[in-house]
Amino acid sequence: MTNTETVTADVLPKNVNGVAVDDLAKTVDAIKATPAIAKFNFRIRNQWLDAAKNSSTVDTFYGAGQERSRSKPFVLEADEPPVLLGSDTAANPVEHLLHALAGCLTTSMIYHAAARGIQIEEVESALEGDIDLHGFLELDDNVRNGFQGIRVNFKIKADVPDEQLAQVCHLGTGHSPVFDSLTNGVPVRVTAERL
């Protein structure tokens, strides 16, 4: 990628796009020295409340060689709008999925731009995805339950010439864990036991 290679640690500024790029370089060096610290395990716990309402608690995770936790757990809610028989107290699960995708593409872009010394001033994105309820409602076996397609449009204000705008965007798609998970699929094992 022309003009977007990772610069070496000794010439890195301390902070680009709010990202401590010196710490990012140290993380890369630490993983090269001790590959096992690259392994992360993320977790949530969810509880059904009523109808379409449920709530997740986000707290602990494993990473960089040790168990970690937040000072206070984050709580994420889900519901459905009335047309989908919910009470509309929170975004629904597929909207949360779009948020996960937007957030991950954006952070991946910002971090990898920072590592290359590319200053980003503003990033906005609009996402949309199509679902046909013939799948969920078992009315047509040829219609999938999930998103048929998702479209993401980024608006970026950055210190790059026009021809590099797509390359900056590719820093997101080329590194994002959620983009990879969603476009290439993930093996999900589901088990159930009696409460």
Cα→Cα distances 4→56, 111, 124, Å: 39, 13, 21
150 C-beta neighbours (distance < 10 Å), count: 17
Residues 80-109, interacting with a second copy (CB under 8 A)? 80-81, 83-85, 88, 90-108
Q: How far apart are CA 120 and CA 116, in angstroms?
A: 11
Residue 10 or 194 having the CB closest to a second copy: 194
Phi and psi at residue 144, to the nearest 5°: -75, 160
Q: Which is nearer to a second copy, 11 or 44 (CB)?
A: 44
Site for a second copy in 150-179 (CB under 8 A): 150-157, 162, 165-166, 168-169, 172-179
Q: Write the CB contacts of 110 (distance below 8 Å, at least 6 apart in sequence).
A: 17, 18, 19, 120, 123
Residues that contact a second copy, how many (by CB under 8 A): 127
Q: How far is the CB of 11 from a second copy (least distance, A)?
A: 19
Stretch 11-40 residues interacting with a second copy (CB under 8 A):
17-20, 23-24, 27-28, 31-32, 35, 38-40
Closer residue to a second copy in complex, CB, 10/162: 162
Please list, in sequence order, all residues whose beta carbon lies within 8 angstroms of the beta carbon of residue 56, skipping any fewer than 6 positions away: 44, 45, 46, 47, 75, 76, 77, 78
What part of residues 115-134 is at the interface with a second copy (CB under 8 A)? Answer: 120, 122-134
Minimum CB distance to a second copy, residue 10 (Å): 19
Q: Binding to a second copy by residue 7, rule CB under 8 A?
A: no
Pairing relationship of beta strands 66-68 and 61-63 according to DSSP bridges: antiparallel
- Candidates 10, 141, 163, 193: give the one binding a second copy (CB under 8 A): 193
By CB under 8 A, name the one of 1, 9, 34, 144 that touches a second copy: 144
- Closer CB to a second copy, residue 11 or residue 69? 69
In terms of Cα–Cα distance, which of 63, 64, 68, 158 is closest to 106? 158
- Token pair 């046909």 is at which residue? 132
**Cβ at position 164, least distance to a second copy in Å:** 10
